[in-house]
Amino acid sequence: MDCAVLNISKGGACLLVADPAGIPRTFELVVDPGRLRVHCNLAWRSRHRIGVSFIAGADDAPPVPQAWPTVLSGEEA
């Protein structure tokens, strides 16, 4: 599922999505394939936004420009 990173920090991110229905509770966020992959927990959802917290490796997450393409992939926990 494509999304846009609205903001990102060492602990999590806010993502813009077309429809948050069906997004699993845990998934891998891939930002600019090959540059950043981080496992996430779904923290909250609204009509077109979701909040995620990073599970592992969040301390190494670099700032992410909004223009980088993003892809969500995952399975239900």
| Span 12-49, pLDDT tens digits | 999 999 999 989 999 988 877 777 788 899 999 999 99
**What is the number of structural domains in the chain?**
1
Assess if residue 68 is contained within a domain: no
Assess if residue 8 is contained within a domain: yes
Maximum Cα–Cα distance across the chain: 30
Domain range for 29 is: 2-59
Assess if residue 69 is contained within a domain: no
Assess if residue 66 is contained within a domain: no
Assess if residue 34 is contained within a domain: yes
Distance CA 57, CA 17 (A): 23
Q: State residue 23's pLDDT score.
A: 93
For residue 15, count CB atoms less than 10 angstroms from its CB and return exposed for 0-12, middle for 13-18, buried for 19 or more. Answer: buried
If pLDDT is split at 50, 70 and 90, which confidence band does 73 have?
low
Assess if residue 36 is contained within a domain: yes
Token pair, residue 16, equals 């813009």
Distance CA 63, CA 67 (A): 12
At residue 60, φ and ψ (nearest 5 deg) are -95, 0
Q: What percent of the chain has pLDDT over 90?
A: 39
